[in-house]
Amino acid sequence: MVSHSELRKLFCSADAVCFDVDSTVIREEGIDELAKFCGVEDAVSEMTRRAMGGAVPFKAALTERLALIQPSREQVQRLIAEHPPHLTPGIRELVSRLQERNVQVFLISGGFRSIVEHVASKLNIPPTNVFANRLKFYFNGEYAGFDEMQPTAESGGKGKVIKLLKEKFHFKKIVMIGDGATDMEACPPADVFIGFGGNVIRQQVKDNSEWYITDFVELLGELEE
């Protein structure tokens, strides 16, 4: 067990901070919003709950949910235009404070790149710092599956991305922040995991996190001290 003061020191000296997106950086679960928009909300949110609880392998859950939703390119674009995701209070300030300190900020999501890039643009995070799943469409815009080669399409994918970032950029300390089991599993290779329960509390994550917060103001406070 690392003491809380050591965790705080690690957070304040990290050279990269990675955020999960759904229910962490934004208030919604992107895939559930897409399902709602496409009229299959109930069946899909039950599957999301099972996947987040770690009961179903991630790729299987993603395949199953997308097969139900069958989102077209136009539906995805309309979702972003008509129901843009809501940023979690405090995230904009936290990201900009980290960037002022020359900390690299990454978004690592099991959600969809088109939605996550929209969120990244609101936070001044470059698209090169976004890791998420790519939806595929036929030339007529109909759903054609997703890119199964993305590390984020796999169980354990967030950890693979962090390992890749360490190898590529030689980061000494990476912090992972998120609400779900897949985020917690990314530490290690992340050096610190901070559980986030500001939008939804997942008991398994709350019980097993050495550091658990429900408001980003707490992390902003750490950086100000």
Catalytic residue among 22, 32, 179, 183: 22
32 assigned to active site: no
20 is catalytic: yes
- pTM attached to this predicted model: 0.88
pLDDT score at 79: 92
CATH topology classification for 33-83: DNA polymerase; domain 1 (1.10.150)
> Consecutive sets of 10 residues in the chain, 225 residues long: mean pLDDT of each?
71 85 90 88 77 72 88 92 90 90 90 91 93 93 91 86 90 89 85 86 80 83 72
Report d(CA 212, CA 102) in Å as an integer. Answer: 24
Of 20, 32, 179, 191, the active-site residue reads 20
CB contact set of 127 (below 8 Å; sequence gap of 6+): 117, 120
Looking at residue 202, its pLDDT comes to 82
Q: CA 221, 27, 32 angle in degrees (round to 5)? A: 155
Options 3.40.50.1000, 3.90.550.10, 3.30.450.40, 3.30.365.10; CATH for 4-28+86-137+146-223 is 3.40.50.1000
Cα 22 from Cα 15, distance rounded (Å) = 23
The domain locations on the chain are 4-28+86-137+146-223, 33-83
Q: What pLDDT score was predicted for residue 217?
A: 83
Q: Which residues does 97 contact at the CB level (< 8 Å), separation at least 6?
A: 220, 223
d(CA 150, CA 159): 13
